[in-house]
Structure 1
Amino acid sequence: MSLTNQTIVITGATSGIGYQLVKQLAPQNQIIALARCPQKLAELAQTFSNIQTIQVDLGDPDALETKTKELITRAQPIDILINNAAIQNTPAFIDTDFNYQTISREITVNFTSVCQLTYLLLPQILASKQGKIVNINSGLALAPKSQSAIYCACKSAMFSLTLSLRYQLAQSHLSVQQALLPLVDTAMTQGRGQHKLTAQEAAERIIMGIQTNQLDHFIGKVKLLSWLKRFSPSFAYRLMQNA
């Protein structure tokens, strides 16, 4: 599949992987960028042509529904929806700095908003001749780590959602894909881990997976993790526990 002259919705579009996706896709496609910060969205619109911006907090389900309805009224087919946005809180439940108030927001941004956008935009994606839903996932969907339990659970839920949607839409022309990433060097992972994939590299590999229609795209070290999970699940879990 050639990624040209496509209408592509990207969440979390103003930083990290989302920004790199916009940077690499905008020259030959129409981008609809969703993000929370109006200033960063304005900068994005000034930097790239062929881009529409929608300011929305994915942690607010009502606001997301309202903004999505505004997009629906434009009545244009959507070729690709890329569910990229994510947040991650690292404290464990037993840590003194764990914040109870963050639980609902983390689940909403990382998973509920994906369900909402997919459902609300599905008619427009089905209206495309080669529609795709692409969920940006993590190796933590395969094996969680001890910290960031809610983030890990959301990524596992996204894996399951992706497969279920694929089953539900099997009789349609729509493709449901996911890219499972290793640790990527973004603001969210600052100060954690080594030998991280750059956001630019992650975006390049995501785009390659879309072009080649890789349904479950295991990127970088996640390929090894997938193999370990298949042949030695207990070892894979031990390996990822303190990742």
Structure 2
Amino acid sequence: MKLENRVIIVTGGTSGIGLELVKSLSQRNEVIVLGRNASLLNELKEKYSVIPYQVDLSDMAQVEWAASEILETHPKIDVLINNAAVQYTPAFTSDDFAYHTISDEITTNFTSICSLTYLLLPALKQARESAIVNVNSGLALAPKTSSAVYCATKSALNAFSLSLRYQLEGSNIKVMQAMMPLVQTKMTDGRGQGKLTPISAANALLNGVENGVLDNDIGKVRLLRWLIRLVPSVAFNMMKRA
């Protein structure tokens, strides 16, 4: 799929990988950006001529509102990139763990993606060829010790993506995943080494979409998947300590 003259939705497009996607895609496409920060969305609108929607993806009423508003002006959508995610690192056993983050994390990282996909499916069906691109993580394949809910949402997203792909076989819609390694974003500040830059992550994602790669293992995720196949105990122990 050539990413030119398309209508493309990017969630979480005000920072990190999402921002780099917006910068690249807005040069040749009509880009709709969903994000929480109104001032950052306005900056994107002025600088890149995108169409902004302020929406908190942990609030299903706002998710439904955004989908309805988009469909009113865009009955045809070519690409939906589900990029937004949040991650809370405290363990359940930690005094820092906040109970309310469970529902926030699940809704933002998983439920909102299922809902946006369903609600926007009629518009995706109107394109000659279209794609749903779910930005996932190597943690979907093997979890780490911290961020148990985050790891679970990514694992659920992997299962959802595969099942939805089966459902849409033979249709005009491809269901793709970009399996990300550790990327240098606000979410990962102070954690890990050897992180991929957001621009490299975004470029790898876009290259995968244009080349029709359904499960795009980016960076160190390629090694992780290989280890899981050959020596799973090594892979899971490695990720446990990540």
TM range (shorter): over 0.9
Q: What is the CA-CA distance between 1:74 and the residue it aligns to?
A: 1.5
Alignment partner, residue 3 of structure 1:
3
Q: What is the CA-CA distance between 1:171 and the residue it aligns to?
A: 2.3
Alignment partner, residue 200 of structure 1:
199
- Take 2:135 and 2:155, find their aligned partners in 1: how far apart are those partners? 12
Alignment partner, residue 228 of structure 1:
227
Q: Is the 2:127–2:172 contact (alpha carbons within 8 Å) kept by the matching residues of 1?
A: no
Q: Which whole-Å deviations, capped at 9, do the CAs of 1:103-140 have from their partners, x for residues lacking one?
A: 10010000000001000000101111111000000000
Alignment partner, residue 18 of structure 1:
18
* TM-score (ref. length: structure 2): 0.99
Q: SS state of the match for residue 9, structure 1?
A: strand
Alignment partner, residue 151 of structure 1:
150
2:91 maps to 1:92 = yes
* TM-score (ref. length: structure 1): 0.98
Alignment partner, residue 38 of structure 1:
38
Post-superposition, which runs of at least 4 consecutive aligned residues in structure 1 deviate over 4 A? Answer: none
CA 1:201 to 1:75, structure 2 compared with 1: closer, same or farther past 3 Å?
Answer: closer
Q: SS state of the match for residue 213, structure 1?
A: coil
Q: Which whole-Å deviations, capped at 9, do the CAs of 1:191-241 have from their partners, x for residues lacking one?
A: 101110000100000000000010000011000000111122221110100
The count of corresponding residues between Structure 1 and Structure 2 is: 242
Structure 1: tracts of 5 or more residues without a match: none
- Take 1:215 and 1:2, find their aligned partners in 2: how far apart are those partners? 15
The one-letter code matched in structure 2 to 1:83 is N
* Structure 1 range deviating more: 229-238 or 79-88: 229-238
- Take 2:74 and 2:40, find their aligned partners in 1: how far apart are those partners? 26
Q: SS state of the match for residue 26, structure 2?
A: helix
- Take 1:134 and 1:186, find their aligned partners in 2: how far apart are those partners? 20
Alignment partner, residue 124 of structure 2:
125
Q: SS state of the match for residue 219, structure 2?
A: coil
Q: What is the CA-CA distance between 1:76 and the residue it aligns to?
A: 2.8
Q: What is the CA-CA distance between 1:101 and the residue it aligns to?
A: 1.3
Q: What is the CA-CA distance between 1:66 and the residue it aligns to?
A: 1.4
Q: What is the CA-CA distance between 1:75 and the residue it aligns to?
A: 4.0
Q: Which whole-Å deviations, capped at 9, do the CAs of 1:158-211 have from their partners, x for residues lacking one?
A: 000000000000021210000001000000000101110000100000000000
Question: CA RMSD, aligned part only?
Answer: 0.7
2:163 maps to 1:172 = no
The one-letter code matched in structure 1 to 2:119 is L
- What pairs up with 1:56-67 in 2 under 5 angstroms? 56-67=55-66
Q: SS state of the match for residue 119, structure 1?
A: helix
Alignment partner, residue 29 of structure 2:
29
- The share of aligned pairs that are identical, in percent, is 52
Q: SS state of the match for residue 53, structure 1?
A: strand
Alignment partner, residue 218 of structure 1:
217
The one-letter code matched in structure 2 to 1:48 is Y
The one-letter code matched in structure 1 to 2:190 is G
Structure 2: tracts of 5 or more residues without a match: none
CA 1:189 to 1:79, structure 2 compared with 1: closer, same or farther past 3 Å?
Answer: same
